[in-house]
């Protein structure tokens, strides 16, 4: 791993400063680095558009939070390039390397000493009048939700061609195991170990309390039709949005691509849960 792409959280001085201090460190060890254009502009060095970094890198290092890492995962797509996340944000379930452990963690990653976990991604397609009009791959979740002042939305939901139910709710979440600690968790969904081959279907504030989250195999196709509702949106990874109309169909399947995350050598997922979710604290 000699060619390193660097992506930072846009407008984050802490990330820019840390990368500025690390660039000489990389150079001393013979690594070639290329930051994204925004980072490079702040540091006065040469850079490339973030979208081009996966084409020239052996590894992508992300300095930011989980949101920045999610963006990087979509950029990498099916290229199979491993991503290492340095946590400068809040919870940091995916961007796991703390600032004070950065040099050691990066050195271990570049030596090949770290585990690489392959995480399931989703592919979401929107069909209108039988024609596909939009498609995205995501790492965390696909969410149908209503606007702030809209009434509840009715979503006819089928699993592998079999009718499941019509959810009358504020929305519906289809989540990967990686995304189980994100919006789905806030909506009452379960936490799944991130390498499981499963999906979670979680209703948001359902009208019927008997509507509960359900865990499904990741080779199932989930089809959601907007039966009624106004001001309805599809949101991917909380970052990409698309307006939906009554009659639109959102189809979610497992993506043919996976995200490959470099895991810090000493990382224990259960310790991460205890730390991030404050389990055991009084």
- The catalytic residue positions are 66
Terminal alpha carbon distance of the chain: 44
Query: CA-to-CA distance for 251 and 228, rounded, in angstroms?
Result: 17
CA distances 277 to 40, 71, 107, 117, Å, are 35, 23, 28, 22
How many other C-beta atoms lie within 10 A of the C-beta of residue 238? 16
């Amino acid at each position: 791993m000699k060619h390193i792409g660097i992506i930072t959280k846009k407008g984050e001085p802490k990330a820019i400063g840390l990368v500025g201090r690390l660039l000489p460190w990389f150079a001393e060890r013979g690594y070639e680095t290329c930051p994204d254009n925004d980072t490079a502009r702040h540091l006065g060095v040469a850079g490339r558009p973030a979208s081009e970094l996966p084409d020239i890198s052996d590894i992508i290092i992300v300095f930011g939070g989980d949101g920045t890492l999610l963006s990087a995962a979509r950029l990498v797509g099916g290229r199979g390039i491993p991503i290492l996340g340095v946590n400068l944000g809040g919870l940091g379930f995916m961007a796991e390397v703390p600032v004070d452990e950065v040099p050691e963690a990066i050195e271990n990653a570049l030596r090949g000493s770290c585990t690489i976990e392959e995480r399931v991604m989703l592919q979401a397609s929107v069909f209108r009048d039988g024609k596909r009009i939009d498609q995205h791959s995501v790492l965390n979740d696909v969410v149908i939700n209503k606007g702030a002042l809209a009434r509840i939305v009715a979503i006819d939901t089928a699993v592998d061609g079999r009718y499941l139910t019509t959810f009358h709710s504020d929305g519906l979440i289809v989540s990967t195991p990686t995304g189980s600690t994100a919006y789905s968790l806030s909506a009452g969904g379960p936490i799944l170990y991130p390498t499981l081959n499963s999906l979670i279907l979680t209703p948001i504030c359902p009208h019927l309390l008997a509507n509960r989250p359900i865990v499904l195999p990741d080779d199932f196709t989930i089809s959601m039709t907007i039966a009624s509702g106004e001001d309805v949106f599809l949101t991917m990874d909380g970052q990409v949005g698309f307006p939906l109309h009554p009659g639109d169909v959102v189809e979610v399947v497992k993506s043919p691509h996976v995200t490959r995350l470099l895991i810090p050598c000493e990382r224990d997922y259960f310790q991460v849960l205890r730390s991030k979710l404050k389990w055991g604290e009084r």
